Structure 1
Amino acid sequence: MNLEVFEGASTAKEAVDAGKRARQQRFSLYADLHSPKGIRALFTHLPETECHSLANQITQAMQDRGGFPEFLAHKVEEAAGLPFGYLDQPYPYPELRASLYRAKRLKRMADARGEAAVEAVGKRNYAQLEQACLGLRGVSEAFYEKAVAKLKKLPRES
């Protein structure tokens, strides 16, 4: 884990929680960019019960304010075929940069179409788009293409 993740932590608990939140964000980025069909699609190669169990654990960790514990991160890395410690490292810059560019282009396109863009793209997808502009979530090529197709059907606001 990078030291800047722990900046501002004055206790060990705060540092551990910061690490969990950083892993949670990195997993969100990974899932957004590599599995546009959802978390379970990352683990379809596993037996059904194992896939279901892991997806449930991930969902619970993502919904919990506590973040993504280290044991779960390593379990996910192994199941997804990622190198050990992948979720503890900064997200690969070229992928993150490409996602940021897609997000910002899409956000400009959505802003030009006003409130109708939120309805066209969907509230959850629009929330993901807003977070992607900050680097907290990701915009995959598939997500980008679908959203662009929906937005092009809408007229621009003057």
Structure 2
Amino acid sequence: MKITSTKVASDGTRYNVSVPQNIPAYTQVYSNVDNKLDKEKYTAPGAKYAFASIDMKADESKRRDLLIKEAFTLNKRPIPEDTIRVKYKITPKGKILEMDFFISATSKLSADDIELIEETLKDKYTVKMSAEKFKGMKFTIYTAPINLGRIKNL
């Protein structure tokens, strides 16, 4: 991926913005400049159905979404209408280590919005999953959408 620019949140958190070659051209990827796991060798889990053990069904998505809504409300920030895709880098116990955000190039999301989502989920959300299926791995990667427009109506 080619880094096209860097965006900075109000507290100084910096995000590299890049355009991947293998997904639609209108998508940009925001990655915290402190992310390090992309440089590490990643091996997908050997268990055939390991990813099926990651719970992102309606109840879990709602739990995650309510945390995001609460963060925007407490910070008196409007919730954008965007749907974004988030690539989570998570421990076998579900702790979020790093995140990458796949966002439309026409999105109104700011670096502050991205930072708020990232900090909220890293601090308050643990992905439900079967740790046994990912045993021995430092981290695994899982991608899921977040519909911010729907969060407004929770």
Alignment TM-score, normalising by the size of structure 2:
0.27
More strand by share: 2
More helix by share: 1
Which protein is bigger by CA-based radius of gyration?
1
Comparing both chains, which one has the higher relative contact order based on Cα–Cα distances under 8 Å and sequence gaps of 6 or more? 2
Alignment TM-score, normalising by the size of structure 1:
0.27
